Amino acid sequence: MSYPERHVRLFRNGRNQALRIPREFELEGEEAILHKEGDRLIVEPVRKGKLLKLLATMEPLETPFPDVDHDLPPLDDVHL
Q: Is 23 helix (H, G, I), strand (E, B) or coil?
A: helix
Strands 10-13 and 40-45: unpaired
Residue 59: the pLDDT is: 92
The predicted model scores a pTM of 0.52
Q: Report the pLDDT value the prediction gives residue 80, as an integer from 0 to 100.
A: 65
The whole-number mean pLDDT for each consecutive block of 10 residues of the chain, a chain of 80 residues, reads 85 95 91 94 88 88 86 73
User: Which pLDDT value is given to residue 19?
Assistant: 92
CB 41 within 8 A of CB 32: no
Q: What is the pLDDT of residue 78?
A: 64
Residues 51 and 38 sit within 8 Å (Cβ to Cβ) = no
What is the structure's pLDDT at 25? Answer: 93
CB atoms within 10 A of CB 37: 7
What pLDDT was estimated at residue 77? Answer: 64
- Residue 59 has phi, psi (to 5 degrees) of -75, 145
